[in-house]
Amino acid sequence: MSPIEAIWCLLKWRISSCNPRPTTVSDLKAAILAEWDLITPAEVARHTTSMPHQVTDLVSANGGHTSW
């Protein structure tokens, strides 16, 4: 239910798509910071605008599983 989870997933996908892939901790940190800066407000909005629907579905499911 947390929109940040989708953003972390996006970030992970972008890092794993780097060519060449980071091989050291410092390379990984640099790649994460660079990719984080490239996340657009539209990408964040895509994951946050659905929150009212998600909450409604969760309440309807009495806290159980939803399609989200």
Name the phi and psi angles at 10, rounded to 5. -60, -45
Tokens of 36: 């984080």
Question: What does pTM read for this prediction?
Answer: 0.72
Cβ atoms < 10 Å from Cβ of 27: 13
* Euclidean distance between CA atoms 44 and 64, whole angstroms: 25
pLDDT recorded at residue 7: 94
For residues 1 and 68, the answer to whether their CB atoms sit within 8 Å is: yes
The series of mean pLDDT values per 10 residues for the chain, 68 residues long, is 89 94 95 96 91 90 84
Tokens of 25: 């901790």
Q: What angle, 0 to 180 degrees and rounded to 10, lies between the N-to-C axes of helices 3-16 and 41-48?
A: 140
